[in-house]
Structure 1
Amino acid sequence: MLLKNATARLTQSELAHLGSGEVGYIRKMRSEDVTRCFPEAPQIDPALDLWALFGADGTPILLTDNRSSTFFKAAEDDLKTVSLH
């Protein structure tokens, strides 16, 4: 039986963990944003194109200047990837 206009309700905690361990997202980063997400990162040349892999919950996993590396790391961790722009 199908319900029309049914709305799924998720708590904030459930939403935050949706896709956890299964989905990762890749996004291009500017050097000035690195410190916020990767506080242990050294000073980065602003001319570098940077790519980051995050868990579905926003946990930083990898920062690199090589976009392909993010996909390799995601595959290594069995994560399905999505890109954010």
Structure 2
Amino acid sequence: MGFERKIEITKDELAHLGAGEVGYIRKISSDEVQERFPGVPKMESGIDLWGLFNADGTPLFLSDDPSTAWGKAVEDEINPVSVH
């Protein structure tokens, strides 16, 4: 019989798990950009873009090409994953 070790983690710790190490790349419409990427100039509606986000959801980079977003993640030593 083995012993199970229970590890407790707070919601705040869970929210920051992987921050700065893991990020995700997902398609984002230009309509979402204003709310997800504050400070980005207003864009024409209906354009598909690609966002790189920290594991906690913090926006890091925006591109019109998924491979550029992927390259930025690698350059910043963030292990990128794709979210569909």
TM-score interval, smaller chain: 0.7 to 0.9
Q: Which whole-Å deviations, capped at 9, do the CAs of 1:15-69 have from their partners, x for residues lacking one?
A: 0110011101000001111111112111212242200000111111001111111
Structure 2 distance, partners of 1:47, 1:36, is 15
Structure 2 distance, partners of 1:62, 1:83, is 14
Q: Does 1:82 align with 2:77?
A: no
Describe the shift of the 1:2–1:37 C-alpha distance in structure 2 as closer, same or farther (beyond 3 A).
farther
Describe the shift of the 1:9–1:40 C-alpha distance in structure 2 as closer, same or farther (beyond 3 A).
same
Q: Does 1:29 align with 2:28?
A: yes
Deviation at 1:2, TM superposition (A): 4.2
Percent identical pairs in the alignment equals: 49
Q: Is the 8 A contact 2:49 2:64 kept in 1?
A: yes
The alignment's TM-score, normalised by the length of structure 1, stands at: 0.86
Q: CA RMSD in A?
A: 1.8
The alignment's TM-score, normalised by the length of structure 2, stands at: 0.86
Q: Does 1:73 align with 2:52?
A: no
Q: Is the 8 A contact 2:31 2:46 kept in 1?
A: no
Describe the shift of the 1:10–1:44 C-alpha distance in structure 2 as closer, same or farther (beyond 3 A).
same
Describe the shift of the 1:33–1:3 C-alpha distance in structure 2 as closer, same or farther (beyond 3 A).
farther
Paired letter, 1:84: V
Q: Number of paired residues?
A: 84
Structure 1 distance, partners of 2:57, 2:13, is 14
Describe the shift of the 1:2–1:27 C-alpha distance in structure 2 as closer, same or farther (beyond 3 A).
farther
